[in-house]
Structure 1
Amino acid sequence: MILRRTRQEEINKVVKIIDEAKETLKKNNINQWQNGYPNEEVILRDIENNESYVLEHNGVVIGTTALSFNGEKTYDKIYEGKWLYNGSYAVIHRIAVTNVDGLKGIGTEILKKSEKICMSKGIKNIRVDTHKDNKSMQGLLLKNNYKYCGVIYLKDGSKRIAFEKEVK
């Protein structure tokens, strides 16, 4: 499996994977990604900013994420806890995977490969947030040694729980 930057012509593949994830969240009564976000416009902006990545297996796109090195304004203030590290950090957003028979660990693969990209850029800290009800994402993060740090609030006031990891 390889994690690489998304090409513009792959926008429909990425949107399809995200739409599948939206449906899964909805079925599990998780009020995340249920208001039209993320959408094609967001993904196009990620591609233009060189922040959109896809996980490819045997030539097939099976996962997506956004990986940014530009900080995150909503991470400036953290409540009910604190960030583990000060200084430069990467941000992982919008992890989504497709359902592939017989393939497990796609989310872990996205995280591990994102961590390698960070290390190659000299970035040792990664931050990520998720909805309080998104137990599968929380489980993925904890399984991959991300530490719970506290609560952040999105621009619209939505509460998210925040995690951070020092990559080595």
Structure 2
Amino acid sequence: MEYQFRKAEITEIPQIWDILQSAIKRRKEDGSDQWQDGYPNPEVVKKDIEKEAGFVLTEGENIVGYCSILINDEPEYAKIEGNWLTNDDFVVFHRVAISEQYLGKGCAKIMMGFIEDFARKNNIYSVKADTNFDNFAMKNIFEKLGYEFCGHVYFRGGQRKAYEKVLQKSKI
């Protein structure tokens, strides 16, 4: 089967929330405090979808993963302790979570490829993101996909590692 990437629908919140709850549990089992403070939650997902920022990775009828994508909309990024690679328009993604049944199949990388395509389609050539210092899986994916560490940003009192990837203008 082939993976598809599209905007999430309100009716899909229960499936998305199941995926996020499993990811929250995995972070806790890994000994991380990331996502252990009541965030994310179904209301956050609902707001993502209402502002057309919630996206799902699907295989057939199955929701494989979830993320939120925004354009130039992350106020905390202006307060980076460090330096971004660019100061132009950017796409930012948050809340990347993959279904338990699809772990280890490269789905997060596939999703990030779709996010980069989304940026290009909007004539934006910078993708920015952040993750917890102990989210080794995500940091590894950033490294493999060519994201560069740029510094630290803060969310809900916690320090996050900030990354950016500058995209090529034409993908031929």
Amino acid at match of 2:48: D
Unaligned runs of 5+ in 1: none
Map residues 24-35 of structure 1 onto 2, 5 A cutoff. 24-35=26-37
SS at match of 1:139: helix
- Tell me, in whole angstroms, the C-alpha distance in 2 between the residues paired with 1:26 and 1:157: 18
Residues in 2 aligned to 1:131 and 1:103: alpha-carbon distance in whole angstroms: 20
Q: Shift of the alpha carbon at 1:111?
A: 0.1
Instruction: List structure 1 segments (4+ residues) > 4 angstroms apart after TM superposition.
Output: none
In the other structure, the counterpart of 1:158 is 158
Structure-2 residue corresponding to 1:6: 8
Residues 1:101 and 1:110: Cα distance change in structure 2 (over 3 Å): closer
Deviation at 1:34, TM superposition (A): 0.5
The alignment partner of 1:15 has SS state of helix
Instruction: Work out the CA distance in 1 between the residues paired with 2:71 and 2:100.
Output: 29
Q: How many residues align?
A: 166
Q: What are the residue-to-residue correspondences of 1:37-116 with 2, within 5 Å?
A: 37-79=39-81, 81-100=82-101, 104-116=105-117
Which stretches in structure 2 are left out of the alignment for 5+ residues?
none
Structure 2 CA distance for aligned equivalents of residues 105 and 31 of structure 1? 24
8 Å contact from structure 2 (residues 64, 102) kept in 1: no
Query: How far did residue 130 of structure 1 move?
Result: 0.5
Structure 2 length as normaliser, TM-score? 0.93
Shift of 1:70: 3.5
Q: Secondary structure at the match of 2:92?
A: strand
Among the aligned pairs, what percent are the same residue?
Answer: 32
